[in-house]
Amino acid sequence: MKTLHVILTLILAAMALTIALYGAFIYLKPATTTAPTDQPALPITTPNENPTIQPNTSPTTPPTPTPTTSPTTTTFASTSTPTSIAIKDDTGATITIPLPVHRIIALDTAHVEILCALGAQNMIVGRGSYCNFPLSINDVTNLGSYVNPNVETAIELQPDVILATTTCDGLSQLQNAGIPVVIQNLANNSVLVPAIHFLGQLVNSQDNATTLVNWINHYTTIVTSRIAPLSANQLPTFYAEQAIEWQTPGSQHVVGQLIVAAGGINIINSSSANAIVVSPESILEQNPQYIFKLTVSTDTADATFYQTAINSINTRTGFSEITAVKSGNVYTYDYTLVQGLRYPVGLLYFAKSMHPDLFTDIDPATILPGMIEQFFGIDFPGVYLYP
């Protein structure tokens, strides 16, 4: 028994020695540098490296915004409250106008009507003799013709700026008096929208300017989107005549451009921006499908007035054989439909006349009074295209 006890003691001692030696071996063995193959190695970030920034983390310093160029040629002085506005006008000159503006002379109808539509009629202190809409503008000082205004009276009115459609007599005298003069020919409808934005900035009525531009774009888009898919053989030919017989607008004239945009083909192949004289024989030879006659109407113009103008065309020698006459497609129109704020209505009128099936949902006769009531706050009765 004593012998068995000694044997067990020796076995336990040996086991303890083995465990001690194995622990010492593990402790002293160098650590391996190879990561296990089933565990991806983690990247090591040194103290000098920047931490990764999440995409939605805001920078500590806001970036300086880059100024954007306005689609118009106007720029404001770079202050929180603009002290001036600059515009490059039709003469190529850059005109700087101090702000705010309180007194304006507008020598042409387009500028007057836009300013009134923007709610700035009270700023107009002088006008050209042709500026008669809205009727209340007649209470403003009449400076005479836009090409030959009364310069002395204009200076006495102490305007902050003068708006004109073309260079005029006495321009240098006005400029020498320190009055900014901006020349913008708004008979070209393509410049109307930039002009509205400029005038909105000038009189601090940008919201009204945007509303007005949206109205214009809405109706012009309706026409262009419906006319664009038509092929050339779906576009009718037309002859447009000015108030004077045998005078017709060239392709670059505002009337010629407008009727072409409405989906017509001008039988007069001229690149002139002015009215040109044609012969009766050329009209008979070209045989237009539509005829549009400009008629200078009055406040009392009615259907009888316009029908008289149509009859004068229908009864011309040889015209009874023209397609437009035989099909009853001779129209008369008032010039107020082809330029200025009302030109989208003219575009609709011409488009519906030539393409009635495409515009069954459009009634230009109601759109024009609605536009006048919306932007001028007045009724606008009358006939502007007949029949």
The dihedral region occupied by 278, where left means phi > 0, alpha psi between -120 and 50, and beta the remainder, is beta
Fold for 230-386, please state it.
Rossmann fold (3.40.50)
Taking the mean position of all CA atoms in its chain, how far away is CA 364? 21
| Residue 246: C-alpha distances to residues 57, 282, 342 (Å) | 71, 10, 26
Contact by Cβ (8 Å): 273, 252: yes
Please measure the distance between the N-terminal and C-terminal CA atoms of the chain and give it in whole angstroms: 139
For residue range 298-311, list pLDDT tens digits in order: 555 678 888 999 99
Structure tokens at 168: 């005029």
Contact by Cβ (8 Å): 348, 364: yes
Percent of the chain's residues with pLDDT above 90: 62
For residue range 257-295, list pLDDT tens digits in order: 999 999 999 999 877 778 899 999 999 999 999 999 998
Please list the residues that pair with 94 across neighbouring strands.
88
Q: Predicted confidence band at 64 (pLDDT cuts at 50, 70, 90)?
A: very low
Output the CATH code of domain 74-204.
Answer: 3.40.50.1980
Domain ranges of the chain: 74-204, 230-386
pLDDT at 30: 43
Query: Cβ-count burial of 321 within 10 angstroms (0-12 exposed, 13-18 middle, 19+ buried)?
Result: exposed
pLDDT at 380: 75
Q: Which residue has the tokens 């497609």?
A: 329
**Confidence check: pLDDT of 107 > 90:** yes
For residue range 359-385, list pLDDT tens digits in order: 999 999 899 899 999 999 998 767 778
Mean pLDDT of 322-336: 94
Sign (positive/negative) of CA torsion 167, 173, 174, 178? positive
Output DSSP code: residue 341: G
Q: Which residue has the tokens 């092929």?
A: 231
**Confidence check: pLDDT of 178 > 60:** yes
Q: Which residue has the tokens 């001028």?
A: 376
* Distance, CA of 338 to CA of 237 (rounded, Å): 19
Parallel, antiparallel, or unpaired: how do β-strands 74-76 and 84-88 relate? antiparallel
| Residue 157: C-alpha distances to residues 93, 99, 140, 144, 150 (Å) | 24, 18, 11, 14, 11
* Distance, CA of 269 to CA of 255 (rounded, Å): 14
CB contact set of 89 (below 8 Å; sequence gap of 6+) = 95, 182, 183, 184
pLDDT at 384: 79
Which of 82, 58, 73, 145 lies closest to 109, judged by CA?
145
Overall size of the chain counted in residues: 387
Contact by Cβ (8 Å): 74, 86: yes
Q: Predicted confidence band at 9 (pLDDT cuts at 50, 70, 90)?
A: low
Structure tokens at 177: 């008096």
* Distance, CA of 228 to CA of 225 (rounded, Å): 6
Mean pLDDT of 38-46: 33
Identical fold at 74-204 and 230-386?
yes
